Amino acid sequence: MSTKAVLITGANGEIGHGLVSRLTEKNPEINIVAIDVHPLSKTLQDQCHEVIVGDIMDSSLLDRLAAFYDFETIYHLAAILSTKAEREPVLGHRINVDGTLGLLELAARQARATGENVKFLFPSSIAAYGLPNVAVKMKAGKVKENEWLDARTMYGINKKYCEDLGRYYNWYYRQLDPQQTTAHVDFRGIRFPGLISAVTLPTGGTSDYGPEMMHYAAQGKVYDCFVPESATLPFMVMPDAINALLKLEATPAKNLTQVVYNIGAFSVSAKDFYDVIKKAFPSAHVNFKPDVLRQKIVDSWPADVDDSLARKEWGWSHEFDFKRAFDEYLIPAVKNRYGK
């Protein structure tokens, strides 16, 4: 008999780190199967039923998993972020799109075999949006899910397309088959803002200047910030991002009218970050040295998002506003991490 389990791809990444711990805290009996191309830290390994150092593009690996497990939920977190995908667009497309397609097929196969829906939680991004310039962006304010969808980066285009794939697998998969299956992939996506964790640093993203500024300051290192002081994006701390994934996962499907939702917490400029960091680490030093090409990507992402649908349909609400995020989570945790 197959073991019931939860699959997490990209488990060693920023979201994965927080998610594994929260899932085992909630349910110590949970069977987590974790995949990552990099080995997981020892503490995470101990919380998982099986850990696989491997590539989501390895179809024989996915076949083996399908044979041994019944996945009730898949958190598909593995991705190449925006800056890295811009430097290696074909690799970005391969991992972000082909990789997601392989996982959706695995989920569909499992739903067919077990007759139970398989929940598929997918982190999408504010990169799915594309505003033409900074003036339009600042005027647009909080954008809704169906506005400004001309993404400009390979990563953003990949995420948007995977949202569409999710919609397809959810509602129209194999719609011409004479025998329709009863169970399906229950795809649920969240367009995350820039995420900030006190425990890990992002790799290869464009919103990375926020978290990098803080981690550099805590280590007493000078930070060259690649956007100007005025650059503004929505951000959120990792505990809220994990809460959102768990909350959306737990929501009855009948409450959900969409396959993807915005969520927001606070919208701040690079200067706002610097001001709060400087207060906590008075010796922090940031040189604002905009890289105009990376800045253009930030300029094409919304300054803020309208998350009223998530609030209404699945009760989303953030716990950490900007002040609380720094006072109660980020500053104490990074001080502790770097022994300050």
Contacts of 248 (CB under 8 A, 6+ apart): 121, 188, 190, 261, 310, 314, 316
**Shortest CB 127 distance to ligand SER, Å:** 5
**Shortest CB 128 distance to ligand SER, Å:** 9
Whose Cβ is closer to ligand SER: residue 74's or residue 297's? Answer: 297
DSSP annotation of 127: G
DSSP annotation of 40: P
Whose Cβ is closer to ligand SER: residue 208's or residue 249's? Answer: 208
**Shortest CB 337 distance to ligand SER, Å:** 20
Query: CB–CB of 144/306 below 8 Å?
Result: yes
At residue 181, φ and ψ (nearest 5 deg) are -80, 155
> Which residues lie across from 95 on neighbouring strands?
none
Whose Cβ is closer to ligand SER: residue 72's or residue 212's? Answer: 212
Whose Cβ is closer to ligand SER: residue 49's or residue 94's? Answer: 94
**Shortest CB 200 distance to ligand SER, Å:** 13
**Shortest CB 220 distance to ligand SER, Å:** 25
Report how far residue 284's alpha carbon sits from residue 266's, in angstroms, rounded to the nearest whole number: 23
* Amino acid letter, residue 105: E
**Shortest CB 192 distance to ligand SER, Å:** 6
Whose Cβ is closer to ligand SER: residue 117's or residue 300's? Answer: 300
Question: Interface residues with ligand SER (CB under 6 A)?
Answer: 81-82, 125-127, 155, 192, 194, 205-207
Count Cβ neighbours within 10 Å for each residue of 148-183 and write b for 16 or more, e otherwise: beebbbbbbbbbbbbbebbebbbeebeeeeeeeeee
Whose Cβ is closer to ligand SER: residue 170's or residue 207's? Answer: 207
Report how far residue 137's alpha carbon sits from residue 234's, in angstroms, rounded to the nearest whole number: 12
Contacts of 292 (CB under 8 A, 6+ apart): none
